[in-house]
């Protein structure tokens, strides 16, 4: 009979635990070191995914110590990676047979839409991302083709697309790289997929696809901040905007934070801030808007807004102009550049964005000056407040377009405010 005291029991457990921990510590760094040893992935976007794939024995690197993340993948290679990732046994290659024969024989039972099943030539060709979408959809037990297969992946978080999470942004015609291949495998495993399913023979119903949650703020590409200075020759600039979503044709427009449309100020040449409805080319003339507005893309098919880009236009150190009845405020980018002058034995400082500003409003082509009663600069908030006598309310709502400029000099910006109807 063996009698084990508490002390000996503790010692035995301690030694066992020490051995287990030692083994664990010895193994874990080895896996991480091996995964991080590739000489060509340190700055690659898929570095962490490649490390995961190596640690989980999804795919191997090359004998020269590289992974070649941007190398294109053939259909046969992708199918082999997919089967191996889910522990599907690939049979031995028969004598005299090509290695891909065993891969296609193994995947045949799943009915995946592999084109190389009937063509050994296709097996060695690079696979595109659309074919990958169809195979992965099939591996999830559904039968979708074309854009519906891409839709399935995007809607189920099995892909984020290449440019954006849209059919177009997925880039189905693009060819698959090794880095993308392991990212797809990681995506399906992260989504909870534990085994490969058989693809049904009958096509799945596309009406059952969940809607894509497209962030329309990501489908317009172009300048987000336009900076103009005081030199007139630097105005009349062109800023192209492009649409990256799924609508085939879009119409471009601008949306300002008010309902009234700014005057065009055109005598054969457009002096306003405009965007070409067909090309998305933004033109900034001398009659512009300092502050925020939106570039909008509208589908020509159904009139839906499919893209929005917020834009801020800065001019002469002013990043925002806000107004209400009786008040106009400038918010500056940097502290104003003051200039000093002497008058009557005293030294004063001034700034053109504070001391040389004038305002007026336009009624049927007639300009009416508005007297500024005070100019107050707040150094802490880095903004100036101009005050003027408020307009009187009438029995109807009134909208005023106020033009701002410098004394006997350059136009600066328009601003718009509304005076509610008298109660």
Q: Which long-range contacts (CB under 8 A, 24 or more apart) does 206-210 make?
A: 206/144, 206/148, 206/151, 209/144, 209/148, 209/151, 209/152, 209/155, 210/155, 210/156
To 5 degrees, how large is the angle CA 282–CA 285–CA 287? 120
Residue 89 DSSP class: P
CA 175 to chain centre: 22
What DSSP letter does each residue of 195-207 carry, written as one string?
A: SPPPPPSSPP-GG
How far, in Å, CA of 422 to CA of 201, rounded? 70
Region of residue 236 (phi > 0: left; psi between -120 and 50: alpha; otherwise: beta): left
Cβ(100)–Cβ(120) below 8 Å:
yes
The residue to which tokens 């200075």 are assigned: 229
The residue to which tokens 């049979």 are assigned: 91
To 5 degrees, how large is the angle CA 254–CA 257–CA 262? 60
What DSSP letter does each residue of 345-377 carry, written as one string?
A: TEEEEE-HHHHSEEEEEEETTEEEEE-EEEEEE
Q: What is the pLDDT of residue 14?
A: 41
- Which of 115, 123, 147, 118 is CA-nearest to residue 133? 147
**Six-digit token string for 130:** 């659309």
Cβ(355)–Cβ(375) below 8 Å:
yes
Q: What is the pLDDT along the chain (423 residues), one digit of tens a residue?
A: 333 333 334 343 443 443 333 433 333 333 333 445 799 999 999 999 999 999 999 999 999 999 999 999 999 999 999 999 999 988 777 777 788 999 999 999 999 999 998 888 999 999 999 999 999 999 999 999 998 999 999 999 999 999 888 888 899 999 999 999 999 999 999 999 999 999 999 999 988 888 877 778 888 999 999 888 766 555 667 889 999 888 879 999 999 888 777 765 555 566 778 899 999 999 887 778 898 999 999 989 878 788 899 999 999 999 999 999 999 999 999 999 999 888 888 998 899 999 999 999 877 667 889 999 999 999 999 999 999 999 999 999 999 989 999 987 778 888 999 999 998
How far, in Å, CA of 391 to CA of 326, rounded? 7
How far, in Å, CA of 8 to CA of 237, rounded? 85
Cβ(143)–Cβ(200) below 8 Å:
yes
By DSSP bridging, strand 220-221 and strand 291-299 are unpaired
Q: What is the CA radius of gyration of the chain?
A: 33
- Which of 415, 134, 392 is CA-nearest to residue 289? 415
Nearby residues of 397 by Cβ (< 8 Å), 6 or more positions away: 418, 419, 420, 421
H-helix segments, 108-199: 120-123, 129-139, 146-155, 167-170, 178-190
Q: What are phi and psi of 138, to 5 degrees?
A: -60, -40
């Amino acid at each position: 009979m063996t009698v084990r005291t508490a002390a000996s029991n503790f010692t035995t457990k301690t030694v066992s635990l020490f051995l287990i921990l030692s083994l664990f510590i010895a193994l874990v760094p080895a896996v991480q070191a091996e995964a991080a040893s590739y000489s060509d992935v340190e700055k690659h976007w898929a570095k962490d995914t490649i490390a995961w794939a190596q640690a989980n024995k999804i795919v191997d690197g090359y004998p020269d110590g590289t992974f070649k993340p941007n190398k294109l993948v053939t259909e046969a290679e992708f199918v082999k990676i997919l089967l191996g990732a889910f522990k599907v046994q690939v049979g031995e290659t028969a004598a005299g047979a090509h290695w891909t024969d065993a891969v296609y024989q193994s995947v045949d039972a799943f009915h995946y839409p592999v084109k190389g099943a009937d063509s050994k030539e296709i097996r060695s060709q690079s696979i595109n991302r659309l074919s990958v979408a169809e195979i992965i959809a099939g591996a999830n037990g559904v039968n979708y083709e074309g854009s519906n297969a891409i839709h399935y992946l995007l809607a189920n978080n099995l892909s984020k697309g290449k440019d954006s999470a849209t059919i177009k942004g997925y880039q189905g015609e693009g060819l698959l790289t090794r880095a993308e291949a392991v990212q797809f495998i990681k995506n399906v495993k992260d989504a909870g997929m534990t085994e490969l399913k058989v693809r049904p023979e009958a096509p799945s119903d596309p009406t059952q696809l969940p809607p894509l949650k497209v962030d329309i703020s990501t489908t317009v590409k172009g300048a987000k901040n336009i900076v103009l200075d005081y030199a007139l020759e630097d105005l009349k600039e062109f800023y192209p905007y492009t649409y990256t979503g799924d609508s085939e044709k879009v119409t471009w427009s601008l949306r300002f934070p008010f309902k009234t449309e700014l005057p065009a100020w055109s005598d054969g040449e457009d002096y306003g801030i405009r965007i070409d409805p067909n090309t998305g080319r933004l033109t900034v003339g001398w009659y512009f808007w300092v502050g925020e507005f939106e570039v909008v893309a509208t589908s020509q098919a159904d009139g839906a807004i499919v893209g929005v880009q917020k834009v801020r236009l800065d001019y002469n150190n002013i990043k925002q102009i806000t107004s209400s009845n009786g008040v106009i405020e400038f918010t500056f980018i940097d502290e104003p550049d003051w200039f000093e002058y002497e008058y009557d034995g005293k030294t004063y400082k001034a700034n053109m964005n504070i001391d040389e500003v004038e305002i007026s409003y336009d009624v049927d082509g007639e300009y009416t000056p508005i007297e500024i009663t005070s100019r107050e600069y707040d150094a802490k908030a880095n903004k100036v407040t101009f005050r003027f006598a408020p307009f009187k309310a009438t029995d109807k709502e009134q909208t005023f377009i106020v033009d701002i400029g410098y004394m006997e000099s350059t136009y600066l910006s328009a601003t718009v405010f509304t005076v509610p109807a008298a109660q």
